[in-house]
Amino acid sequence: MSGPEINELEQMVLLALVRLGDEAYGVTVREAIEARAGRSVSIAAVYAALDRMEKRGWVEAWLSEPIAVRGGRARKHFRVTATGAAEVRAARRRMEDMWRGLELHPDLRGD
């Protein structure tokens, strides 16, 4: 494997970016993770993950038009690159491979 492997938070951030489309910026990504995964995550952790992934080429940033409610400042939005999409697909395949054949294992049934 070349380069760093994606972690769980980064997977959730990438999936949130895909789900949110053009509305994906730090706050909306955090809200999507909390709503869909039921996981509390700090905005600092979201931005740290976005920064790491931007450096790896998994996401790219763009600035919105200035928003009046923010005093005329633009928001930094993010989108998944082809490399990021490939990475999250590979992570899903790895996890599916680990689960394959374990569905009926007594330890995992929860009986």
Residue 79 domain-assigned? yes
Q: What is the pTM of this model?
A: 0.84
Residue 1 domain-assigned? no
pLDDT, tens digit (0-9, with 9 covering 90-100), for 58-72: 999 999 887 767 577
Residue 43 has pLDDT above 80, yes or no: yes
Round to whole Å and give the CA distance between 14 and 81: 10
Round to whole Å and give the CA distance between 107 and 111: 8
Task: Look up the CATH number of the domain holding residue 88.
Answer: 1.10.10.10
pLDDT, tens digit (0-9, with 9 covering 90-100), for 79-102: 999 999 999 999 999 999 988 877
What range does the domain containing 91 cover? 8-102
Residue 29 domain-assigned? yes
Residue 39 domain-assigned? yes
Return mean pLDDT, the chain.
89
